[in-house]
Structure 1
Amino acid sequence: MATVGRIKLGSEGLEVSAQGLGCMSMSSGYGTPKPEPDMITLIHHAIQRGVTFLDTSDIYGPHTNEILLGKALKGGVRDKVELASKFGISFSDGKVDIRGDPAYVRAACEASLKRLEVDCIDLYYQHRVDTRVPIEVTIGELKKLVEEGKVKYIGLSEASASTIRRAHAVHPITAVQLEWSLWARDVEEEIIPTCRELGIGIVAYSPLGRGFFSTGAKVVESFSEHDFRKRLPRFYPENMEHNKTIFERVNEMAKRKECSPSQLALAWVHHQGNDVCPIPGTTKIENLNQNIGALSLKLTPEEMAELESYVAADAIKGERSGPGIATYNTEGDTPPLSSWEAA
């Protein structure tokens, strides 16, 4: 079996596997946590295949996903991976808050280091932007953590273009994490060009449309009671009835290409450039292997255009996020929220 290649993420020296592994679904977000031994086996398999860029957050669980990663990285495994985690979504007493004040930044980092059982986090993202705290103040504290050796590189997640620019002026931002897939392309207008202008790497979460490009409308049948995707408008029954035709077209093209629809959708993200690292999540080794297979799939400009024609903005029904779901907006980063959204 071929292993995954490497890419440079951003212009500060970070090198990661060309495809990463989003670890959230192992512990939260998409239903009940999966058995810990199975997930550790999956993580080790990913590393053996060359998928060494592992993505977690303190809010996944909360906390349990970082603990899982900490256990998986024991026994000499830590040196083989690029470890990314996030802070900024605070969950306590049943309430969710976005925080970026210096005291919280430092406390969150110290707590993550303990749960992960590491001395340093390779890439540390602000998970969501706290609009009550100037981004310069938040990044200023992160800069101190870099100087102290607790963090190697700084990232932002779901930030607006203006915030990215302001943050980058304080300390180089290595990567911006954002939702990017065939049916989530709003970032292409302003965010992606800003990152490329500044030499910032792009990490694409949910590159398979949160499972939509794996099984189409059938994906909703797998949603458990606690799966937050139930609150995403695109998965509402009335919208899915319309959106399922998108999957059917992608699936038809996949048959012509002799690949799976998920491999085709993932290959589309890979073809966006060598500064882009998608981090599809999975809890199954067979799905991980299939995702790796997308790296060897070649798409012509004509095939890229054909795929994009299936998912024109007016062809998709429903917003990508729902009420109370924390995602960026171009006017002011994170809106108020009553519940948290994974990524």
Structure 2
Amino acid sequence: MKTRLTGDSGLELSAIGLGCMGMSWVYAESERDDAESDRVIKRAVDLGVTFIDTADLYGPFTNEELVGRALAGRRDEVVLATKCGLVPDMSLYPTKVKVTPNGRPEHIRASIDGSLRRLGTDHVDLYQLHRIDPEVPIEESWGAMAELVAAGKARHIGLSEAKVEHLERASAIHPVATLQSELSLWSRDPLADVLPWCQANGVGFLPFSPLGRGFLTGTIRSADQLPPSDFRAQQPRFAPTALERNLRIVDGVEKVAQRHDATPAQVALAWVLAQGPHVVPIPGSTRLAHLEDNVKSVDLELGEADLVELDGLPAPVGTRF
């Protein structure tokens, strides 16, 4: 597996990571299988995937336990990342997913201890603030995150879905190792300002949902395929009319894939990888077959003409959330 240095932090990751959210949270409950997830995580490490990403929110809390069990005896082989700062409203779940930011220093300090206990480790390699809390100055939240580095509970700290303003204010207090945000062929907003800022300032960029929450694989052709318990059924881009129009994007990805004897997922991931040497996508794989397919994207070289064609695909219909 190829590796990438994600900016100035010295944090070296496999060129593609493994996002574990879908193993425990928000996607269709029928797709969850702890035994299969355990196999996927272990197989990922066997294949050289060294970056494993989770969060206390997922499950909630149960995903960290799953990851901890799967990595028992292999902790030193991976760069382990988790997150804090989002609190779920379980009274509405799974009918509706609602979360509230909590960036108070006391919440952050308590959260890391819970995560370390569930993961079965004494430190994480990357601790991320899941969302900026608009009620708490970023300086206070980030100061608490920096305390965890000083205490040895986290090697590096990062942000998720932060704007350039937040990145600048946080980096004035303590280095921001990484930024995690959504980036794919149907979510390209970070290309305008956030991704260039990260590249210019030595911050690694970790795209979540690089496969458009599974849409870019070409396996979702109708809104009827998503049960009510799947949070995508609530999202504007997966509404019947929008989804039908968004298939134009998938058709374009499939066209490039056919030329390379590749899968649409591999092309979609290769496009993300082509956005910069500091970019490490973290697709969520819940099945061994999906994992094996995604890992092969690292060796897919898209030509300039391919990238121009993909860049020219239509913008998605519907907002992200």
Measured against the shorter chain, the TM-score band is over 0.9
Q: What does residue 214 of structure 2 align with?
A: 211
Tell whether the 8 Å contact from 2:2 to 2:15 is kept in structure 1 after alignment. yes
1: CA distance between counterparts of 2:45 and 2:214?
Answer: 22
Tell whether the 8 Å contact from 1:269 to 1:278 is kept in structure 2 after alignment. yes
Match of 1:52 among 50, 53, 63: 50
Q: What does residue 41 of structure 1 align with?
A: 39
1:319 aligned partner, one-letter code: T
- Report the secondary structure of 2:302's partner residue: coil
- Report the secondary structure of 2:276's partner residue: coil
Q: What does residue 236 of structure 1 align with?
A: 239
Is the alpha carbon distance of 1:310 and 1:216 closer, same or farther for their aligned partners in structure 2, counting shifts above 3 Å? farther
1:10 aligned partner, one-letter code: G
The Cα RMSD (Å) is 1.4
1: CA distance between counterparts of 2:6 and 2:84?
Answer: 20
- Report the secondary structure of 2:157's partner residue: strand
2:262 aligned partner, one-letter code: C
- Report the secondary structure of 1:106's partner residue: helix
2: CA distance between counterparts of 1:9 and 1:275?
Answer: 5
Match of 1:10 among 7, 22, 25: 7
1:225 aligned partner, one-letter code: P
Deviation of 1:160 (Å): 0.8
2: CA distance between counterparts of 1:200 and 1:26?
Answer: 28
2:66 aligned partner, one-letter code: L
Moved more, 27-36 or 187-196: 27-36
Moved more, 173-182 or 213-222: 213-222
Tell whether the 8 Å contact from 2:36 to 2:288 is kept in structure 1 after alignment. no
1: CA distance between counterparts of 2:222 and 2:275?
Answer: 26
Tell whether the 8 Å contact from 1:182 to 1:265 is kept in structure 2 after alignment. yes
Deviation of 1:85 (Å): 0.3
- Report the secondary structure of 1:170's partner residue: coil
Tell whether the 8 Å contact from 1:87 to 1:127 is kept in structure 2 after alignment. yes
Deviations 1:127-155 (A, max 9, x none): 01001111111111111110010011000
1: CA distance between counterparts of 2:44 and 2:220?
Answer: 28
Is the alpha carbon distance of 1:219 and 1:126 closer, same or farther for their aligned partners in structure 2, counting shifts above 3 Å? farther
Identity in percent: 42
Q: What does residue 181 of structure 2 align with?
A: 178
Q: What does residue 90 of structure 1 align with?
A: 87
Match of 1:123 among 123, 126, 129: 126
* 4+ runs deviating over 6 angstroms: none
2:84 aligned partner, one-letter code: F
2: CA distance between counterparts of 1:274 and 1:126?
Answer: 23
Tell whether the 8 Å contact from 1:217 to 1:244 is kept in structure 2 after alignment. no
Tell whether the 8 Å contact from 1:216 to 1:247 is kept in structure 2 after alignment. no
Within the alignment, does 1:320 sit opposite 2:317 as a pair? Answer: no
Tell whether the 8 Å contact from 1:31 to 1:227 is kept in structure 2 after alignment. yes
Q: What does residue 23 of structure 2 align with?
A: 26
Paired residues for 1:1-343 under 5 Å: 4-32=1-29, 34-74=32-72, 76-91=73-88, 94=91, 96-215=99-218, 217-218=220-221, 220-311=223-314, 313=315, 316-321=316-321
1:21 aligned partner, one-letter code: L
1:46 aligned partner, one-letter code: A
Deviation of 1:281 (Å): 0.6
Tell whether the 8 Å contact from 1:205 to 1:279 is kept in structure 2 after alignment. yes
Deviation of 1:264 (Å): 0.7
Tell whether the 8 Å contact from 1:217 to 1:241 is kept in structure 2 after alignment. no
2: CA distance between counterparts of 1:301 and 1:61?
Answer: 41
Tell whether the 8 Å contact from 2:157 to 2:178 is kept in structure 1 after alignment. yes
Q: Which runs of 5+ in 2 are unaligned?
A: 92-97
1: CA distance between counterparts of 2:206 and 2:279?
Answer: 6
TM-score (norm 2): 0.95
1: CA distance between counterparts of 2:145 and 2:7?
Answer: 17
2: CA distance between counterparts of 1:92 and 1:217?
Answer: 28
User: Paired residues, what number?
Assistant: 314
- Report the secondary structure of 1:278's partner residue: coil
2:244 aligned partner, one-letter code: E
Deviation of 1:121 (Å): 0.8
Q: Which runs of 5+ in 1 are unaligned?
A: 322-343
2: CA distance between counterparts of 1:291 and 1:96?
Answer: 29
Q: What does residue 95 of structure 2 align with?
A: none
